[in-house]
Structure 1
Amino acid sequence: MSFSLKSAVIAAIMCSNANAQHTITGQIIDQNQKPIPFVTIEFNNEAHQTDALGKFYVTNLTNGTYNLYINEQGYSPIHKQIIINQSQNLQFVLVHDHSYSLNQVDVIAHKHDFTTGNSEHIDQKYVRENYAGSLAKSLENMAGVNASGIGSAASKPIIRGLGFNRLLVSENGIKQEGQQWGADHGLEIDALNIEEVEVIKGPATLEYGNEAIAGVIRIKNNQIPTKNSSKTNLGLMYQSVNDNYITSINHQTRGDKFFYKLKGTYSDFADYRTTTDKIRYLDRWMPIYNNRVKNTAGQEMNVQGQVGYVDQQFRSILTVSNVNQKMGFFPGSHGVPSLDRLTHDGNYRNVDFPHQKVNHFKVISENEFKIDTKNLIKFNFGYQNNHRQEISAFHTHYSNQEAPTVDPDLELDFKLSTYDAQVKFEHTHNQNFKTIIGGQTQIQDNRIAGYNYLLPQYNRNIYSGYLIEEFQKAKTWKVTAGIRFDYADFDSNGYFDETLYNYLIGKEYAPAIANFYAERSQDISRSFTNWNGMIGATFQPNDFWDFNLNVGTNFRLPTAIELGSNGIHHGSFRHERGDANLDSEKGYAIDFKATYHKNNWDIAVSPYAYYFSNYIFLKPSGQFSILPHGGQIYQYTQSKALLTGFEVNVKKRFTDNLDAQVIYEFVNNRQLTEDNELSYFLPFTPPNTLFSKIDYRIDQPISIFDNFEFNVSGRYAFEQSNIAQNEDITKDYFLLGAGIKTNILINNFKATLTVQGSNLLNKKYYNHTSFYRALQLPEQARNIQVMLSIPFGK
């Protein structure tokens, strides 16, 4: 054969191979090796879909390089280049994306999701099994999380000793906005119908902004139901400590692209039981009749509706919710307790004076548009109206004050309206590099009313922008770095109390002194600018070790009460005075986490440090108030502060049926002098704690019962003697808990029964961060909680 003929034959063979037709088969599965049906796969922008078993077939492919793209709702997208030179069988594993997630996300363990943040995810199952009357209390078994309790049905979360306006709570990407500066009410969140919670500890200012100093409790009620499904779940619960009867129901239905969800919870609770029959406050003994804390009963009704549209390019979810609460205050929590106000009235379920009413209405619109395989834009909108009232029979400390002619028992009335708008653009340069650009706007208007005065009427607007760069090297390194700018303006109306001024003049005080006290707040017009930056990294050298490090700055805008208050705050039992010249609270944070998991061990150690150049706190002024029952004046001021500590979380699986967990938390929060020397401790610092829990499972069915789970837990809180000025030492205590869970199967009927017991030894103890701690009122008595969950549909 001649050379030219050989060349022609070789060229023909090569041409034939180049035009060969190949078939690609494969399957899409999740992390649990379960197939994911009806997923769209793009080969060079040509769409193909998996069948009901997650399998796909792509035919008539020629030799070459193909861009493969999978972007299924609820999972992290996959973008790869595949060289095709023969028929192949492929398999792809989709990993849950925590922006939108499919139903039933279990607690993540032994699996690092490769984010740079120090975060932990829990699901609805966890919240319900650990339910303790409120969301914050239900999270206390997580490392670094505590709660400031207000009775039996409300509480505020605390992370590493930081709470209130230093801890951000968001739902579906929108920050929860109420009167979070106040210690005497909780979150207006329906805890029993939460679908997933992510707790982010450490600096989170970069994406979340103002108040995300301690971290973020990120509530996600936007899970996408599976296609062509309809499910309903009915929950019934009883709590013995306050005779609380709870009914909770949620329903969800999805066709192909449209879905809707409906949720509702109703709770009716009585005065809660405690472990004492008397308290000592202001050197006086006060009775607690029948060991029940009078007027702590209440009701709560929550509803939520959601509609959504999902396809491969556009996703939109609209959520409308309303939380309505009515809860009594222990009569000693407002003003000075008196014996006649504490006398039992014969009814443990009535709500008398004083009490609070809170209604939180919220609308959230989440939208996501995939421009192409590399570009994604998200835009969210939110509106919230938080209306909080304190109702108390008209009373006055000033003889010349008359009752209002309208709503004479309305002591305080706050109406906070908040508008949020957010836009975020994500550009994926390649599988290792992504750029995120975002902008946020928040507009707030706070109206006030009532015969008492606490904080000024104000408007606040915040405008923000940020840039984040993400770099990833295989599954070993990931680095996130970014910068953020915030501009805020704050305007409040001054208030001069003529009634108080005339009262003091009548008591023969000098006009200057009367004016000092009667000027309850000044006209304030301030603007604030803040630049912040952060860098975070995660490193996974092998299958056994994970390392996270986050270093960044953070900030918090001063609140209206810190800037403009002057008078007795009955909810805090003191005279408080603001400072209109306070600057934004600024600081630096470093958070490190090392995790080791091997041979059924999972060990995490997380040390941290926060430094503040101007921490805002209440400082005793040394000047005593001349107002009746005013005591010493506490002045909002700023100082350097250092917050340090660490958490150790150890989990061990001994057998397939036996697990154990131990958590130790150490917290040390201090003020610093101008010379950076340690000074007083900061208020509301939780004690060091040690928590342990053992879980045991029986897989074999017993009669109508299936899958028994038993647990025993213990919590030891060390004595808290590291106290701020005006705080009391809190003695150490140990709490014992236990629980059982099982499925009930009767023919086609299926239900899950959970029984939990807390404070089983009926221990008398004080929670250092509790609202009622200042009254020397101990915490709740023994509680037995029974929950029945009944699912319907498929």
Structure 2
Amino acid sequence: MKIKFHTLDSYMLKVCLSSCFLLISYFSVAQSNDCQYKVEGTMYNLSNQQPLPYGNVHIAGTQKGAVADEFGHFEITDICMEEFDLIFSFVGYKEVIHHHDIYHELPKIYLAPTDVNLESIVVEGEQIIGDLQSGTVSSISVKDLQQNQSGSLGDLASNISGVTVIKTGQNVVKPVIHGLSSNRILIINNGVRHEFQNWGAEHAPEIDPSLISNLQVIKGAATVRYGPDALGGVLLIDNPPLELMQPLRGAMAVMGKSNGNSAEGSMELQKGFERTAVMAQVSWLQQGDLSTPNYQLTNTGKKEKSLALGARYHFANVDLNFYYSHFDQELGILRASVTGNLDDLINAIESEVPPDTQRFSYQINNPKQTVKHDLFKLKGRWNGQNQLLEMQYAFQINQRQEFDVRRGTNNSRPAIDLELFSHTLDIDWKHPQIGNWTGSLGVQTLYQDNNNIPGTNTVPFVPNYNNSRIGVYMIENRQLSQKDWIELGIRYDYQFSSVIGREPDNDIYNNDINYQNASVTFGYRSEITPDQTFRTNIGTAWRPPNISELYFFGRHQSTIEYGLLRFELDENNNIITNNILTEKEKPAPSEMGLKWVSSYQWRSPVWDAELTGYVNYVANYIYSRPGGITTTVRGAFPFFLFEQLDALFAGADFSAHVNHNKNWYSEIRANYLWARDVGNGDYLIGIPPTNISYGINFKKRKWGPLSSIESGIMLNYFFEQGRAPRVISVRDLLDAKLNEENLFAEDGSNFDFLPPPDDYLLASLVWSADYKPLSFLFKVENLLNSSYRTYTDRLRYFADDLGINFSLSVKYKF
């Protein structure tokens, strides 16, 4: 059989060509109908958070792009693709590539100048502050972040106006916002409530500041958005965002310090693929005994190790994020804070040089703390049309051991051995716009299991307990005009706690406690001009008593403490600690706060200034105050009592950045706080004093072979706290005890063991430079080697604070 082939005649050829043309035309029209996507956003200068005008952006592989306007805003229309890469650039700034799709929120682009260590970043949607548009939010500057990441989280946060610190010696530092600390400040670490043994001044948050890329502080009562415990404010901490389609990049850094002869190092890596992105960070630190200008601070060494891993997987309108971090710390507590008898205690407080002062050593003996903290987080994010749904589960393990100076084999056993498991599940829905209102609804749940590990050979200082909490909230925003916005928020929380512990005679006690409350907030924000912004927010907040505040009993490091239900006062103000009281015998209601915060920000090419004023009334404020001195088999110690009162906090913060010319600029910060027990007309102990700081800086690009150089000097003046309680010294208490005299029979008001320290001036010097991929930082702290004591330091009774410290760091980026 033969097969015969025929060629197409002219008619068939015309039909085929016409069909192909129509088909191509159809798809072209269909494609053109799909070219209705657009992307818009705002470009900012990462260093000062100000809009970056006339920056460039274009879609990779195309000619389509735009130039930002004078306010940094850009818009690209008629985009045909659902997913694409955006390339942002500006002369003198680091380029950034961002993978975007039409389902995600509009991006904010933060371009880093070429002479800073940080990389440019992109934030999709609102910044981490979320729905709280009227809240007063302050961020740490890029310069302060780079220069202070080798300290503690508290020291790093104190570079923000309105934030100070409370300490137990030099290694345990906690942030204070407007006079409130510990359980009244929430720490949101990478979107997760950081859960740890957050009671007293002796427990610092287990977070490595060297791994932080962004730190913000919400100064208002942020309970509505973040839950109970935020009476003072919120610390928001972020690691670098995970970007897709990014080349491998990273950094390695080493640092040495003279005070403590410390060495530390860190490394970070990040890589973005088409659908995934991964990151890893690791750091370590070894520090020996610290020193004052005149003597060693024996047993103040520290060891730290930390690790963080992150991964992101991207779908068309869904993102999955995984994060894990581990923090391991061992730190010593000043040996002179532990004494053997009352005479030794008096000697320790009155001596110019603390007793038991030894030569420098890296060895960490008792008293000391060892802490391990692990965080696992899984977060899913669905981007719909004009709406966003986020679900996040987090699991945390906090293991804490505290070793006291004890006799015999007990010295090697921890006196406190606690293990805290925390589970949180958060759901947040940013709903489509309803009329002129936008906002979100959310549910947050928490379950905690806190247990004492057997083997301490002592009555547990804190009982075992389980906490269960659920909260629901709604926050709505409305734009009144092009310049004015209002917001309303409401929240309800219910918490149930089950407690089981031991009496001093080892009899078991148990109790079930529940607390519930509602919180509301109202805020207003006005963009008076493009350079001036006014914010005001008033809101209620609440905090249930921490289990530790109810049941504290016995020795804890350098002090003895008694919780609200572990003591009572007789008619002569004598302290009775024989049994545990019930809530009926001694009610312990929740703290209830009402805080009003207003701020005014004024920006110009010459300066950027912000003034914040606040008033915070806290009813049923739980307060730890000195109660006297006592002796136990472990030695002689001052003891503290937990009581409740009505407190009022009021004050103001001021910060300014002033550009004198192209190379010179100044920075000014000032904090003022007034606090009082309004029910009894008494002063509170441990309130941070007024302080003012001023820094003058020189900055220049291209200095010989260096790509940039910067130097500056900072002066920080701390006033003496003139609003402090009366003073009753340990010697006065001992004399009264010997004479059988009751100093509190007629006057049970607050007192302190020592008067507030004198005012003092601290000076620091900083020099930094960049040479190709290397960055150098040289810093001198306490430049004048001044002797001083910090009023908010629990160990100021025994020793001075740190003397001069030289530090040098080198960082390599690739």
Q: Which amino acid aligns with 2:685?
A: P
CA RMSD of aligned residues (A): 3.5
1:653/1:495 Cα in 2 relative to 1: closer, same or farther (>3 Å)?
same
Shift of 1:27: 8.4
Shift of 1:326: 0.8
Uncovered stretches (5+) of structure 2, i.e. residues with no partner: 1-28, 44-51, 66-74, 90-97, 112-117, 349-353, 567-582, 726-749
Q: Which amino acid aligns with 1:427?
A: H
Match of 1:591 among 573, 591, 597: 597
Shift of 1:54: 6.8
Match of 2:206 among 178, 181, 188: 188
Match of 2:331 among 316, 321, 327: 327
Deviation sequence 1:301-351 (CA, Å, 0-9, x none) = 101111111344111211111100011111133455689995455551111
Corresponding pairs, count: 686
Match of 1:524 among 506, 511, 517: 511
Task: Specify the SS of the correspondent of 1:773.
Answer: helix
2:789 equivalent in structure 1: 766
Match of 1:752 among 775, 779, 788: 775
1:696 equivalent in structure 2: 698
User: Which residues of 2 match residues 44-63 of structure 1 at below 5 A?
Assistant: 47-50=81-84, 53=87
Deviation sequence 1:103-148 (CA, Å, 0-9, x none) = 54699xxx99993110022366632312462111122221011112
CA contact (8 A) 1:294 1:342 kept: no
Deviation sequence 1:332-380 (CA, Å, 0-9, x none) = 334556899954555511112221110001111222111x212211011
1:65 equivalent in structure 2: none
CA contact (8 A) 2:463 2:501 kept: yes
Distance 2:681 2:101 in 1: 52
2:375 equivalent in structure 1: 362
Deviation sequence 1:166-197 (CA, Å, 0-9, x none) = 11111122111111113223110011011111
Distance 1:495 1:21 in 2: 75
Match of 1:35 among 57, 80, 97: 57
Distance 1:75 1:685 in 2: 48
1:741 maps onto 2:753 in alignment: no
User: Which residues of 2 match residues 654-693 of structure 1 at below 5 A?
Assistant: 654-673=660-679, 679-693=681-695
Distance 1:744 1:619 in 2: 53
Shift of 1:490: 1.2
Shift of 1:700: 2.8
CA contact (8 A) 2:534 2:599 kept: yes
1:782 equivalent in structure 2: 804
Deviation sequence 1:636-670 (CA, Å, 0-9, x none) = 22211110000122221111221112112110111
Match of 1:729 among 748, 756, 764: 756
Further displaced range: 179-188 or 292-301: 179-188
1:715 maps onto 2:738 in alignment: no
2:417 equivalent in structure 1: 413
1:88 equivalent in structure 2: none
Distance 1:326 1:755 in 2: 27
Shift of 1:275: 2.3
Match of 1:209 among 220, 224, 227: 227
Task: Specify the SS of the correspondent of 2:660.
Answer: strand
1:791 maps onto 2:813 in alignment: yes
1:37/1:120 Cα in 2 relative to 1: closer, same or farther (>3 Å)?
farther
Q: Which amino acid aligns with 1:369?
A: W
Match of 2:393 among 375, 381, 389: 381
Shift of 1:240: 1.2
Further displaced range: 687-696 or 347-356: 347-356
1:609 maps onto 2:615 in alignment: yes
1:451 maps onto 2:479 in alignment: no
1:476/1:572 Cα in 2 relative to 1: closer, same or farther (>3 Å)?
farther
Q: TM-score, normalised by structure 1?
A: 0.80
2:651 equivalent in structure 1: 645
Q: Which amino acid aligns with 2:768?
A: K
Q: Which amino acid aligns with 2:717?
A: Y
1:476 equivalent in structure 2: 483
Uncovered stretches (5+) of structure 1, i.e. residues with no partner: 1-17, 56-69, 79-92, 277-290, 396-401, 500-518
Q: Which amino acid aligns with 2:388?
A: L
1:569/1:354 Cα in 2 relative to 1: closer, same or farther (>3 Å)?
closer
Shift of 1:381: 0.9
1:536 equivalent in structure 2: 523
1:13 equivalent in structure 2: none
Match of 1:292 among 286, 292, 296: 296
Distance 1:668 1:173 in 2: 32
Distance 1:653 1:630 in 2: 55
1:120 maps onto 2:138 in alignment: yes
2:540 equivalent in structure 1: 553
Work out the percentage of aligned pairs sharing the same amino acid: 21
Task: Specify the SS of the correspondent of 2:154.
Answer: helix
Distance 2:785 2:236 in 1: 33
Further displaced range: 336-345 or 609-618: 336-345
Distance 2:529 2:304 in 1: 49
CA contact (8 A) 1:27 1:50 kept: no
1:228/1:545 Cα in 2 relative to 1: closer, same or farther (>3 Å)?
closer
Match of 2:471 among 458, 464, 469: 464
Task: Specify the SS of the correspondent of 1:128.
Answer: helix
2:553 equivalent in structure 1: 566
Distance 1:474 1:774 in 2: 56
